[in-house]
Amino acid sequence: MYIELSKSEFRDAFARAGRKDQFSYEALGALYDYCQNVEYSSGCPVMFDIGELCEWEEYDNLEAVKAENDEIDDLDDLKDKTEVIEVPPKLSFDVNGNKIYSGGGLLVREF
């Protein structure tokens, strides 16, 4: 039996599993989009398993990945070694209506 989850339900499932703080709000959205794309491109439903999705780690930027993995030279090199999801920055506005971008980063699957 399969239940289709919305992006909000996907995020809520992480919170209910006690993993609310494992990924940022934006990273969970990017991970959801990734799972949706895998599902649509394969034509097969994706089984939602929080344990499996926890094989991913969120990094602020490529430099943070390189600090933990000295064999990584650049983003293309990282993508050759594992799956990478680029997390878009969060857009907000200040009181004057100016755009403020914050967050963003990379989700990297364990390798």
- Average pLDDT on 72-99 reads 91
What pLDDT shows up at residue 77? 94
Tell me which residue range forms the domain holding 31: 7-109
Residue 1, in any domain of the structure: no
* The pLDDT of residue 68 is above 90: yes
CB 87 within 8 A of CB 107: yes
The pLDDT of residue 29 is 93
Is 25 domain-assigned? yes
Give the predicted TM-score (pTM) of the model.
0.81
Q: What is the mean pLDDT of residues 90-105?
A: 85
Q: How many domains does the chain have?
A: 1
